[in-house]
Structure 1
Amino acid sequence: MVLRSETKNESIFIENPKHIQQCHVEGMRDELILKNYKYSSTGASGLHTNWIMDKILREH
């Protein structure tokens, strides 16, 4: 990530977590198998996120 202003240019590198999808997988497990959790990620929300990412990436 690069932050640029009139007085400063700053670069920040944010490393991805080792297991980036772990929270997603655990949420699906908890809803489908343990049945003790209502997971917020659905097919509809995934489709919407995909649409947004497609719009962002087509601009570059």
Structure 2
Amino acid sequence: MGSVVNGKRTLSIILAFVNQIFVYYGFYTIPGTLDDREIILTNGFTFVAATIAWFKNN
């Protein structure tokens, strides 16, 4: 079980780094205004935090 979780974490960080490289070189930009991005980002953080809290309490 532990190696599967570590593999998923490793894949996630690799994808994040590749995404950052694409953004840096201008190959990929997120459409929308800065306000739209802020709303999506805060909603995402809220969802992740609530999900983690839910599973830690149960």
TM-score by length of 2: 0.48
Point out the structure with max Rg over C-alpha: 1
Greater relative CO, 1 or 2 (CA 8 Å, sep 6+): 1
Instruction: Report the structure, 1 or 2, having the larger helix content.
Output: 2
